[in-house]
């Protein structure tokens, strides 16, 4: 990708709005603005990082829009190149006219994520920070926003750099021993090296262990409601959601398709999926619904197996239970306000909760149990790193493998060449997270998920 020409793109989403912002980055940004911007104070020289009011003019001097514009001199900018932002009225027609004006003057329309790509190439952000920018833009819950922001801020990067710096120092030492074998290897130092490896392995393990929880907080977890017809699944969905979203009737087989709703349970973003009651049916529509529900079981982070407290358990409940075995599941005894005895529940060893959608009793306890289960008991402190990206998680697992092998080699004192190899590999995987060691394909993959103008 060319990183030296001057690029332009709308930085705000398309659609009508109060204002829209067109962003320009590159060596010609300043002259592009000056050539078409007339400040209301008739100022000719624009000071960096100051917002000016005025008019943006077409080639023939006719106004395109009344705007506010700012020129920001490198390097204190998002891309570290010269940047201009033009705040115009939020009309797509105005934005289009501004883009046309500058494209006809030779500026190039930026690719998705190209501003952030330049920030990465110019060293303002590392790769994990650039990825977090995208996560922040797409954050759908408060927890994902918080995690993404801490990563943009460099919480993960700082850890990775500190691991890498230590490993590089050790590598230099090991390579020196390889180059000067006549100098006796001080046993003392090998002990220190092994201890340092063990320390880093412990610290990286803490980070990799946060992935399950980090992923749930960033992406949300899926919770599936299953049970035979009429046990109160849709009523439970409505109660947890706090609104009458799903149709509830006393007719068994009311829900026929999957119904998915997003909500936050005790700070954990979840997608709650209501399903068609599982039973034998001759109705093709209902059968398709049942098939879809059964397919969803495998994908769910948690299954709520719902039974009706007002009814004796029967074969249909046992059938649904058999479908849930092997999946993470809770037993939910719904309609607890009816309060009949439903029979022996010892067949089911899922954690059990009694709830009533009608009175709301037991719902708070269920919510707490769900969030504790999904976060795996993990309550992150604000300054701890939490992994949210599978890519980072996998790279750290590879890095751990190399370090564990390195510990064995250092303990044996056998082959320094192999030890150096494992160290270099470990550094390679750390570099994949920061972007020090990366491929064109990986960069394409990451930056193509960005929006235009970011």
Ligand X SMILES: Nc1nc2c(ncn2[C@@H]2O[C@H](COP(=O)(O)OP(=O)(O)OP(=O)(O)O)[C@@H](O)[C@H]2O)c(=O)[nH]1
Contacts with 18 (C-beta within 8 Å, 6 or more apart), sequence order: 90
Residue nearer to ligand X on the CB measure, 135 or 255 = 255
Strands 221-226 and 108-109, by their bridges, are unpaired
Q: What are the phi and psi torsion angles at 275 (to 5°)? A: -130, 170
Residue nearer to ligand X on the CB measure, 151 or 309 = 309
Residue nearer to ligand X on the CB measure, 252 or 351 = 252
Q: Are 407 and 201 in contact (CB under 8 A)?
A: yes
334 belongs to the binding site for ligand X (CB under 6 A):
yes
Among 63, 75, 186, 252, binds ligand X (CB under 6 A): 252
Residue nearer to ligand X on the CB measure, 152 or 334 = 334
250 belongs to the binding site for ligand X (CB under 6 A):
yes
In this chain, which stretch among 62-70, 250-258, 362-370, 389-397 interacts with ligand X, using CB under 6 A? 250-258
Q: Are 132 and 151 in contact (CB under 8 A)?
A: yes
Query: How would you list the strands of the sheet with 83-90, edge to edge?
Result: 37-39, 50-57, 63-72, 83-90, 17-25, 7-10, 108-109
Q: What are the phi and psi torsion angles at 314 (to 5°)? A: -140, -175
233 belongs to the binding site for ligand X (CB under 6 A):
yes
* Reduced DSSP (H G I as helix, E B as strand, rest coil) percent helix, strand, coil of the chain, to 5: 45, 20, 40
Residues 258-287 binding ligand X (CB under 6 A) are 277
Residue nearer to ligand X on the CB measure, 38 or 358 = 358
In this chain, which stretch among 18-26, 44-52, 317-325, 331-339 interacts with ligand X, using CB under 6 A? 331-339
Q: What is the DSSP letter of 268?
A: E
Calpha distance 225→301 (Å, rounded): 11
- From ligand X, Mg ion, none, which one binds at residue 222 (CB under 5 to 8 Å depending on kind)? none
Among 338, 345, 397, 418, binds ligand X (CB under 6 A): 338
358 belongs to the binding site for ligand X (CB under 6 A):
yes
Q: What are the phi and psi torsion angles at 338 (to 5°)? A: -75, -35
255 belongs to the binding site for ligand X (CB under 6 A):
yes
316 belongs to the binding site for ligand X (CB under 6 A):
no
Shortest distance, position 242 Cβ to ligand X, whole Å: 15
In this chain, which residue has its C-beta nearest to ligand X?
277
Helix axes 127-138, 416-434, angle to 10 degrees: 30
Shortest distance, position 240 Cβ to ligand X, whole Å: 12
Calpha distance 229→24 (Å, rounded): 58
Shortest distance, position 244 Cβ to ligand X, whole Å: 11
Calpha distance 249→209 (Å, rounded): 44
Calpha distance 403→344 (Å, rounded): 52
Interface with ligand X: number of residues (CB under 6 A):
23
- From ligand X, Mg ion, none, which one binds at residue 362 (CB under 5 to 8 Å depending on kind)? none
- From ligand X, Mg ion, none, which one binds at residue 235 (CB under 5 to 8 Å depending on kind)? ligand X
Among 98, 248, 399, 403, binds ligand X (CB under 6 A): 248
229 belongs to the binding site for ligand X (CB under 6 A):
yes
In this chain, which stretch among 129-137, 166-174, 180-188, 335-343 interacts with ligand X, using CB under 6 A? 335-343
Residue nearer to ligand X on the CB measure, 138 or 358 = 358
Residues 383-442 binding ligand X (CB under 6 A) are none
Shortest distance, position 274 Cβ to Mg ion, whole Å: 6
- Alpha helices of 73-126 — where are they, by DSSP H? 92-103, 114-121
Shortest distance, position 324 Cβ to ligand X, whole Å: 15
253 belongs to the binding site for ligand X (CB under 6 A):
yes
Strands 108-109 and 7-10, by their bridges, are parallel
Calpha distance 150→156 (Å, rounded): 8
- From ligand X, Mg ion, none, which one binds at residue 10 (CB under 5 to 8 Å depending on kind)? none
Burial code (b: 16+ CB inside 10 Å, e: under 16) for 2-34 equals eeeebbbbbbbeeeeeeebbbbbbbebbbebbe
Which residues of the shown chain bind ligand X in the complex (CB under 6 A)? 227, 229-235, 248-250, 252-255, 277, 334-335, 337-338, 356-358
């Amino acid at each position: 990708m060319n990183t030296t020409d001057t690029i332009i793109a709308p930085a705000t989403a398309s659609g009508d709005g109060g204002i829209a912002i067109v962003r320009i980055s590159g060596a010609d940004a300043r002259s592009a603005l000056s050539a078409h911007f007339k400040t209301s104070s008739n100022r000719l020289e624009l000071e960096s990082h100051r917002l000016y009011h005025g008019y943006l003019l077409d080639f023939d001097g006719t106004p395109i829009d009344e705007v506010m514009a700012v020129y920001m001199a490198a390097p204190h900018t998002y891309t570290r190149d010269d940047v201009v932002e033009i705040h115009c009225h939020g009309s797509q027609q105005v934005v289009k006219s501004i883009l046309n004006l500058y494209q006809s003057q030779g500026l190039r329309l930026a690719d998705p994520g190209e501003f952030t790509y330049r920030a990465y190439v110019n060293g303002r952000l590392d790769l994990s920070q650039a990825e977090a920018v995208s996560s922040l833009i797409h954050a759908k819950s408060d927890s994902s926003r918080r995690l993404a922001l801490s990563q943009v801020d460099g919480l993960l990067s700082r850890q990775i750099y500190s691991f890498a710096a230590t490993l590089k120092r050790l590598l230099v030492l090991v390579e020196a021993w390889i180059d000067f074998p006549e100098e006796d290897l001080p046993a003392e130092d090998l002990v220190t090296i092994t201890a340092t490896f063990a320390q880093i392995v412990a610290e990286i393990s803490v980070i990799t262990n946060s992935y399950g929880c980090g992923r749930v907080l960033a992406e949300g977890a899926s919770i599936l409601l299953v049970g035979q017809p009429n046990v109160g699944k849709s009523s439970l969905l409505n109660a947890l959601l706090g609104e009458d979203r799903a149709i509830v009737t006393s007719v068994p087989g009311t829900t026929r398709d999957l119904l998915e709703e997003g909500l936050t349970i005790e700070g954990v973003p979840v997608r709650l999926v209501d399903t068609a009651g599982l039973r034998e049916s001759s109705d093709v529509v209902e059968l398709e619904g049942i098939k879809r529900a059964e397919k969803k079981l495998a994908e769910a982070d948690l299954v709520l197996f719902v039974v009706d407290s007002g009814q004796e358990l029967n074969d249909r409940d046992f059938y649904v239970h058999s479908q849930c075995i092997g999946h993470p599941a809770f037993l939910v005894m719904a309609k607890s306000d009816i309060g009949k005895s439903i029979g022996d529940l010892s067949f089911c060893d899922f954690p059990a909760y009694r709830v009533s959608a009608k009175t709301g009793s037991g719902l708070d306890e269920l919510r707490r149990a769900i969030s504790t289960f999904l976060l795996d008991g993990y309550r992150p402190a604000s300054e701890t790193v939490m992994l949210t990206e599978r890519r980072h998680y996998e790279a750290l697992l590879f890095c751990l493998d190399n370090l564990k092998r390195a510990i064995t080699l250092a303990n044996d004192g056998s082959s320094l060449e192999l030890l150096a190899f494992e160290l270099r590999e470990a550094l390679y995987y750390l570099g994949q997270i920061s972007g020090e060691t990366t491929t064109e394909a990986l960069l394409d993959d990451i930056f193509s998920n960005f929006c235009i103008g970011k």
